[in-house]
Amino acid sequence: MENIGIVGAGSWGIALANLLAHKGHKVMVWSIIEDEINMLKEKHEHVDKLPGVKLDDSIEYTTDLKEAIEDKNLIILAVPSPFTRSTAHNMKEFVKEGQIIVNVAKGVEEKTLMTLSEIIEEEIPQAKVAVLSGPSHAEEVGRGLPTTIVAGAKERKVAEYVQNVFMCDVFRVYTSPDVLGIEIGAALKNVIALAAGVADGMGYGDNTKAALITRGIAEITRLGLAMGGKAETFSGLTGIGDLIVTCASVHSRNRKAGYLIGQGKTYEEAMKEVKMVVEGVYSAKAAMGLAKKYGIEMPIVEQVNLVLFEGKDVKEAMNDLMNREKKNEIDDGLWTE
């Protein structure tokens, strides 16, 4: 049994808390919101973000960040990506040398273009940082539905430790040293999912969504490889796997926000209606910044940015994507004439 602190009481943090408690670990969940903690203590359910999922009675809850971190074998950082830096900064004084922090949020910081694990390493240099990512909606993990995911870390022993902590009969965990590739796939799939949602909102069909998923992973892979990620990562669970589930699922907040935008709402109106942080909106500008930094062509990401932040009409954006100059799908060097 491990003693685990979960920083963040959103749907994903709560789903993981329930998973780990059912496995027999000692789990404490932190939130800065006192009403949220009181609700969890009283109802043993997150009625707003994970309704219908009854939580293990052994889970403890606190608003004291020090209590959530000290003497824990493992810390899970589960706050939305825009709050990763500020939360990590506040955690620093309580984290011991070599303490393992697992980031489970997805995003890239707009101003610095840093991944979330890079931010945590900068703010808490004494920690050992890992990531946990893959096609894993909280609504399904909370219900105990079979899920497969990847634990990434720079050190094999850290990745394998995280694997052992989480793995059970409904939660299969693979390991990977490609932390950068995992995080780029995780962050940018949310941007592509916005585009897929827009297409759904416009009334387009399966052909359109398949095109966006396929060409979307091509964009993500081009950028990821340029940054030093591994090709296998983008064809795996945290690449195409996570992209498929986020573009297609009714649980996806990014797809839902895109759907509302496709029906004519602004991104601010869409985010307000979704009622949760829509990571793709925050990652879109960062994705475009990375594309420019590394000289990578990312037409879908570009059009998403134009729709979100410059008011471009969604039909015009789709038309511009469809009428780009002709391309080969693979290297034409295979032709002999």
CA 189 to chain centre: 8
Q: Kindly tell me if the per-residue pLDDT of 18 is higher than 90.
A: yes
Residue 52 pLDDT class (50, 70, 90 cuts) = very high
Instruction: State how beta strands 128-133 and 147-153 pair.
Output: antiparallel
CB distance 321 to 303 below 8 Å: yes
Angle value at C-alpha 173, between 71 and 248, nearest 5 degrees: 115
What is the pLDDT, as a whole number, of residue 274? Answer: 85
Please indicate whether residue 327 is annotated as part of the active site.
no
Local structure of 141: helix, strand or coil: helix
- Domain 3-177, second-level architecture: 3-Layer(aba) Sandwich (3.40)
What amino acid occupies position 206?
Answer: D
pLDDT tops 90 at residue 280: no
Q: In terms of residues, how long is the chain?
A: 337
pLDDT at 212 (0 to 100): 97
What pLDDT, on the 0 to 100 scale, is given for residue 278? 83
Q: Is the pLDDT of residue 331 over 80?
A: no
Q: In this predicted model, what pLDDT tens digit does every residue of 182-213 receive, in sequence order?
A: 999 999 999 999 999 999 999 999 999 999 99
Task: State residue 93's pLDDT score.
Answer: 97
Task: Say what the pLDDT of residue 113 is.
Answer: 96
β-partners of residue 153 are 130
| Cα dihedral value 308, 312, 314, 319, nearest 10 | -130
Q: What is the model's pTM?
A: 0.94
* Domain limits, the chain: 3-177, 180-327
Pairwise CA distance, residues 106 & 283, whole Å: 9
CB 89 within 8 A of CB 79: no
**Which entry of 23, 189, 209, 256 is annotated as an active-site residue?**
189
What is the per-residue pLDDT across 281-310, written as a single tens digit (0 to 9) for each? 889 999 999 999 999 999 999 999 999 999
pLDDT confidence of 330, banded at 50, 70, 90? confident
Per-residue pLDDT, 216? 97
Average pLDDT over residues 70-75: 96
Which helix (H) or strand (E) covers residue 27, if one does? strand 26-30
User: Does residue 142 contact residue 9 with C-beta atoms inside 8 Å?
Assistant: no
Identify the bridge partners of residue 60 per DSSP, sorted by sequence position. Answer: 28
Phi, psi of 262 (to 5 degrees): -65, -25
Helix axes 179-201, 116-123, angle to 10 degrees: 130
CA distance 281 to 167: 31
Is the per-residue pLDDT at 277 higher than 80? Answer: no
Backbone phi and psi for residue 73, each to the nearest 5 degrees, phi listed first = -70, -30
Within 13 Å and on the Cβ side, how many CA atoms surround 270?
Answer: 25
**Which fold, 180-327?**
N-(1-d-carboxylethyl)-l-norvaline Dehydrogenase; domain 2 (1.10.1040)
Predicted pLDDT of residue 220: 98
